[in-house]
A = this chain, B = another copy of it.
Amino acid sequence: MAAARHSTLDFLLGATVDCNAVLKALQPIFQEQGMTETVHNWEDHGYLATYIKKNGSFANLRIHPHGLVLVDLQSYNDHMKGREEVDQLLNEVEERMKELFHGNIKRVKRLPAILRGGVIDRYWPTADGRLVEYDIDEVVYDEDSPFQNIKILHSKQFGNILILSGDVNLAESDLAYTQAIMGSGKEDYAGKEVLILGGGDGGILYEIVKLKPKMVTMVEIDQMVIDGCKKYMRKTCGDVLDNLKGECYQVLIEDCIPVLKRYAKEGRMFDYVINDLTAVPISTSPEEDSTWEFLRLILDLSMKVLKQDGKYFTQGNCINLTDALTLYEEQLGRLYCPVEFSKETVCVPSYMELWVFYTIWKKPTDI
């Protein structure tokens, strides 16, 4: 894959270092490569040496006097030979450093090279902001809908992954997500009325339809998500999205807010409401200012169409965003009717972080 490869090699030393001695020891390695040196020497902050090669590659050698030596190497190439040259150079730097410090180095760290600017983007940070690289090898679908950017990328291990506006939504490996948001196998959907908010990947719909419900209504705002998923996420949705109407289900391509309002007005009630909207839901009618108020609006409307003994399922957030989880739970105390809730932490394979799912129900009234 043609991309810039950014390689790093870091040395954490036990004590302060003689910056000039490190520079003198390492500079021949770069010079032997025919690289041109430029050195900057701070009064109190050590050295930065930049090495430039004729082929467009360059290296930085940053020597911090308190005992940290960082090497960066950036090259643009898509052939193995270039990679081997980089590895060879970094190996030589590592050997020289070990000789210089007689192995007295606290840590040597060489990260997997970062691929920058390639056609395929392998880096999709977690919800808690960590850097993770996926084994993406193909861009299967990449379109902008009126609502969001929709990507479906192929991962060798997870199958196709749906990514909405940069957020990893669901991979074909992620039945664990669908099971969790359906109540982890503890519910009996047979003969029940079910409402799905969002869920455009079709995973929930596909799994519930197997369980012989009376009727499932799914309300998805974005036709293009459905179009992409029915073609490329078939391990998730099977054939359920091939038609927007089946024996026991219908898919409405609409914003869920007006639909919820209509159902509430009509007095239509459901045994289960499953909120599978994106983390920050999109809507054509954002009457409320903040995300939290909007989330509460959806919750309130959902409670209005939920039977007294019904259940509301939703995904929460990654387990590390404790503040966001707490805020969400606070919203639950501010609905028009009193509710109770439980939560469960689930490992969704493609997420690379643990995820919290909620079950919410109306507080039983006193008899």
The chain A residues found within 8 Å of chain B, CB to CB, are: 4, 6, 8, 10-12, 36, 38, 40, 42, 44-46, 48, 50, 52, 54-56, 58, 60, 62, 64, 68, 70, 72, 74, 76, 107, 109, 111-112, 114, 116-117, 121-123, 125, 128-135, 156-158, 173, 176, 318-320, 347, 349, 352-354
Contacts and interface: CB of A to CB of B under 8 A. Distances in A.
* Count of this chain's copies in the oligomeric assembly: 2
The winner among A56, A121, A158, A319 for most chain B CB atoms within 10 A is A56
Contacts of A70: 4, 6, 74, 116-117
Contacts of A353: 135, 157
Contact of A133 (B12, B74, B76, B130): B130
A45 B76 CA distance: 10
A8 B113 CA distance: 14
Nearest to A173: B354
A185 to B, nearest CB: 15
Contacts of A125: 111-112
B68 A58 contact: no
Nearest to A46: B56
B347 A354 contact: no
Contacts of A117: 10-12, 64, 68, 70, 107
A10 to B, nearest CB: 5
Contacts of A112: 125, 129-131
A40 B64 contact: no
A129 B83 CA distance: 15
Nearest to A112: B131
Given A70-B4, A121-B109, A55 B45 contact: yes
A4 B64 contact: yes
Nearest to A3: B68
A268 to B, nearest CB: 38
A172 to B, nearest CB: 12
Given A4-B70, A40-B58, A70-B74, 5 more contacts: A6-B72, A38-B50, A122-B130, A130-B133, A352-B352
20 contacts: A8-B114, A11-B117, A38-B40, A38-B50, A42-B54, A44-B56, A45-B76, A48-B58, A68-B117, A70-B117, A112-B131, A114-B131, A130-B132, A131-B131, A132-B132, A132-B352, A135-B353, A157-B353, A347-B349, A349-B354
Given A109-B123, A121-B107, A8 B116 contact: yes
